[in-house]
Amino acid sequence: MIPKKNPNVDVGRNSSLYFAIGLILMLLATRALLEYKTYDKSAIDIDKVYLEETFEDEIPIIKVNTPPPPPPPITVTETVVIVEDVSEIEETIIESSEITQEDAIAERIISVDEIKVETVEEDVEVPFHVIESVPVFPGCEGGTKEQIKACFQSKIQEHVMKNFVYPQQAQELGIHGRVFVMFMIDKNGYITNIKSRGPDKVLEQEAERIIRLLPKMIPGKQRGKPVKVPYSIPINFVYVAG
């Protein structure tokens, strides 16, 4: 015979409910322990604040003697007195100075002797290769135009070779090249307006120095009148290493 159990005294009938409640309580306790924070008491420094009574200095009030304001401006009232005119004033009549068609114009005949014609001398430049009479270098007088031109060019070359000096600074730096020198033979035969273009300023200065030493020449002529003649020559600076 199997004994019957009383359901009211059965312990295992609500075991799942008790398990769930216990699990929830355990989780809540675990969370509370994890979130609990502690602090090191040695790192906390508790000081006492002492408040002392402060006294404020009273600033004395100084009275400044300010000057009184300036008096208001005095208004001057002008009294207009009307005086009756006693004397008569004569009016001045100004006549017009314009000339009308009725005025006669005196004709003035100008004689030819009163006319002066001024001759303006033109400052003309004629290139060396087209001028009628080329400039004459000293020592090239006489001969035909072609002979004088060939002698001129030959004398220029001799002058350059005679006065040529290679600058020491250019030698030390190894500067070399060709310098083109342009100059003008003016109407009096003097060398003017010297310009140069080259690879370095040192060589340009030496080339201009050589051209300045050119002598006075017989100026070139165009239609029998002295004119300016431009001329250019290349000077080649060749550096030979020792």
Mean pLDDT over the full length of the chain: 78
What is the pLDDT at residue 97? 64
Per-position DSSP letters for 154-219, written without gaps between them: HHHHHHHHHH----HHHHHHT--EEEEEEEEE-TTS-EEEEEEE-S-HHHHHHHHHHHHTPPP-BP
What is the pLDDT averaged over residues 177-205?
94
Percent of the chain with pLDDT over 70: 61
pLDDT of 101 > 90? The answer is no
Please report which residue ranges of 50-177 form alpha helices under DSSP H: 145-163, 168-173
**Cα distance between residue 146 and residue 148, in whole Å:** 5
Lowest mean pLDDT among 41-50, 60-69, 228-237: 41-50
**Contact by Cβ (8 Å): 126, 220:** yes
- By CB atoms closer than 10 A (0-12, 13-18, 19+), residue 200 is middle
What is the pLDDT at residue 15? 77
**Cα distance between residue 209 and residue 194, in whole Å:** 10
* Residue 112 in tokens: 């030819």
- Cα 16 to the center of its chain, rounded Å: 97
What is the pLDDT averaged over residues 50-77?
62
For residue 42, CA distances in Å to 45, 46, 48, 84 come to: 7, 10, 17, 115
Look at residues 139, 140, 158, 138 and name the one whose alpha carbon lies nearest to residue 148: 140
Query: What would the pLDDT profile of 130-177 be if each residue is shown by its tens digit?
Result: 999 999 999 998 888 899 999 999 999 999 999 999 999 988 888 899
* Residue 154 in tokens: 């030959």
**Cα distance between residue 188 and residue 227, in whole Å:** 9
Q: Which CATH class is domain 145-237?
A: alpha beta
Q: What residues contact residue 164 under an 8 Å CB cut-off, 6+ apart? A: 210, 235
* Residue 186 in tokens: 């003016």
- Cα 242 to the center of its chain, rounded Å: 46
Query: What would the pLDDT profile of 204-216 be if each residue is shown by its tens digit?
Result: 999 999 999 999 9
Q: What residues contact residue 209 under an 8 Å CB cut-off, 6+ apart? A: 163
Task: Look at 166 and 82; give whichever has higher pLDDT.
Answer: 166
Per-residue pLDDT band for 239 (boundaries 50, 70, 90) equals confident
What is the pLDDT at residue 68? 73
**Contact by Cβ (8 Å): 219, 189:** yes
What are the residue ranges spanned by the domains of the chain?
A: 145-237
**Contact by Cβ (8 Å): 169, 159:** no
What is the pLDDT at residue 56? 56
What is the pLDDT averaged over residues 4-27?
75
What is the pLDDT at residue 205? 93
**Cα distance between residue 210 and residue 196, in whole Å:** 12
What is the pLDDT averaged over residues 75-81?
62
What is the pLDDT at residue 238? 85
**Contact by Cβ (8 Å): 222, 126:** yes
**Cα distance between residue 212 and residue 191, in whole Å:** 7
